[in-house]
Amino acid sequence: MNIKKFNTKGNEQYKILLQSVISKDIVTNSDYKSFDDLARNRNYTEELACTKSIELKDFETRYELGKYLNDALSDCKHSEIENNEKMWNWISCFYMRKILSAKGGRDIARFQFTRAREGRRNLIRTPWMLYNINGENSKFALPSALHIHSNECETYSSRPELYRNAVVGNLCMELYWDKKNNRVFANATDHRKQGRAGVLYPRLYKKILELSKLYDLWSIDMETLRELVGDEFDSIKKEAANKQDTKSKNPVWKRNEQIVVLKHYFESDDPIKLSKNKQEIKKISLLLKSLDENKKIETQSNFRSEEGVRRKILNFCSIDPRVDDDDGLDHYSKGDEKIFMEFYNNDKKLNEIKTIYDVIIKNDT
């Protein structure tokens, strides 16, 4: 359907519905359907003549979403859409199944657009804004899944002297983007490591501010800016080059593999303790590697490793409403969330998972 906007009543209904849903511990399919119905309700929406059609499709990253929306809105005048609250709220409503996770990330500013500073945290408008201004140079700030708004993205998108300066965006791509592997360099934005130089938050931002007092950074060329910034910010690339990470990217987890981990997860009284139980983690890792479906894969040394199993358990912990928010890992996939919620708090499905597990093991041993 074509991109629409809410009318005044529809916008208020959206805010009421959003507030009621994000206050819940568990988001159900019925909740998502309420957003679907509201987005399609003609009594609450208005047409926008300049927009193109969009689909409720999957996007691998926020960058892909931003690129997609930029194309869909390319015939619109920038002034008509940039701060169009009713349109951005409608698009958020339309994509709610993709951007609202079962746990975590319930800050209302992620889903309800406002022209105040909180607008930088909007999961829909921010990817469009950064791509609209920087094109492919926005990749480094938008590598995460649709429901995740990272610290580096907020740092970048909340400071016009960074994201509105095309040369700075180009510099960030050179410093942080691993072209070979099509991703951000490992730990490139990790400001928590003491002594780490060159990260966007806060080191590069401070450097840009210092330089702006002496130079006109809005008209400077890339080579000059690169020279002024200095070698300090090459540390990330050098670190990556020295490691030359021979561990290629593992394939996406299959449903059978997720079920093997979930079976142990749901049988554990404390999944956090399970993630620290080296003996049990090793057992699960060896089991995953022994599956027939994995024997046919040319695997690398870190394939379904003990660390990989530990992280998968912590991914599930991050989704699990029973586990404290700080104990899990935020960057879980929508696939992890979907399969976890399929079995969570459902005795019938939990009984089924034991049977499915036995079938998987029997067939692969």
269 and 228 both lie in a single domain: no
The DSSP code sequence of 7-70 is: -HHHHHHHHHHHHHHHTSSS--HHHHHHHHHHHH-TTSEEE-TT--B------SSHHHHHHHHH
237 and 291 both lie in a single domain: no
Q: Give the mean model confidence (pLDDT) for residues 235-248.
A: 60
In a domain, 7, yes or no: yes
DSSP one-letter code for 204:
I
> Each residue of 34-44: pLDDT tens digit?
999 999 999 99
- Whether residue 275 is predicted with pLDDT greater than 70 in this model: the reply is yes
259 and 174 both lie in a single domain: no
CA 172 – CA 200 distance, rounded (Å): 8
274 and 222 both lie in a single domain: no
- Largest Cα separation within the chain, whole Å, is 70
Q: Give the mean model confidence (pLDDT) for residues 233-241.
A: 67
2 and 131 both lie in a single domain: yes
264 and 326 both lie in a single domain: yes
> Each residue of 320-332: pLDDT tens digit?
888 876 667 766 7
**CB-based contacts of 44, cutoff 8 Å, min separation 6:** 6, 7, 9, 10, 13, 38
In a domain, 150, yes or no: no
What are the tokens at 162?
Answer: 């960074």
Residue from 187, 74, 182, 60 nearest 131 by CA: 74
1 and 132 both lie in a single domain: yes
In a domain, 143, yes or no: no
64 and 33 both lie in a single domain: yes
> Residue 41: its pLDDT value, please?
98
- Paired with 178 in beta bridges are 183
Report residue 246's pLDDT band, with 50, 70 and 90 as the boundaries.
very low
Report residue 259's pLDDT band, with 50, 70 and 90 as the boundaries.
very high
Residue, of 106 and 147, whose pLDDT is higher: 147
76 and 169 both lie in a single domain: no
Average pLDDT, the chain: 86
> Residue 245: its pLDDT value, please?
47
Report residue 19's pLDDT band, with 50, 70 and 90 as the boundaries.
very high
Contact (CB, 8 A) for 85 and 113: yes
How many structural domains does the chain have? 3
In a domain, 200, yes or no: yes
Domain enclosing residue 299, as ranges: 255-363
In a domain, 275, yes or no: yes
4 and 49 both lie in a single domain: yes
> Each residue of 262-272: pLDDT tens digit?
999 999 999 99
In a domain, 142, yes or no: no
Q: Give the mean model confidence (pLDDT) for residues 259-283.
A: 94
Last residue of some domain: 195, 215, 245? Answer: 245
> Each residue of 115-167: pLDDT tens digit?
766 678 899 999 999 999 999 999 999 998 898 888 778 888 988 999 999 99
Q: How many residues does the chain have?
A: 365
> Residue 150: its pLDDT value, please?
80
pTM: predicted TM-score of the whole model, two decimal places: 0.72
In a domain, 101, yes or no: yes
Secondary structure of residue 285 in the 3-state scheme: helix
Residue, of 118 and 74, whose pLDDT is higher: 74
Report residue 298's pLDDT band, with 50, 70 and 90 as the boundaries.
low
CA 201 – CA 256 distance, rounded (Å): 39
Last residue of some domain: 213, 245, 277? Answer: 245
91 and 22 both lie in a single domain: yes
CA 243 – CA 345 distance, rounded (Å): 43
> Residue 152: its pLDDT value, please?
78
Contact (CB, 8 A) for 334 and 237: no
CA 354 – CA 54 distance, rounded (Å): 40
117 and 163 both lie in a single domain: no
> Residue 321: its pLDDT value, please?
83
Report residue 168's pLDDT band, with 50, 70 and 90 as the boundaries.
very high
> Residue 206: its pLDDT value, please?
86
CA 364 – CA 141 distance, rounded (Å): 42
In a domain, 330, yes or no: yes
> Each residue of 169-194: pLDDT tens digit?
999 998 888 888 888 887 666 655 55
> Residue 203: its pLDDT value, please?
77
Q: Give the mean model confidence (pLDDT) for residues 42-66.
A: 94
Report residue 296's pLDDT band, with 50, 70 and 90 as the boundaries.
low
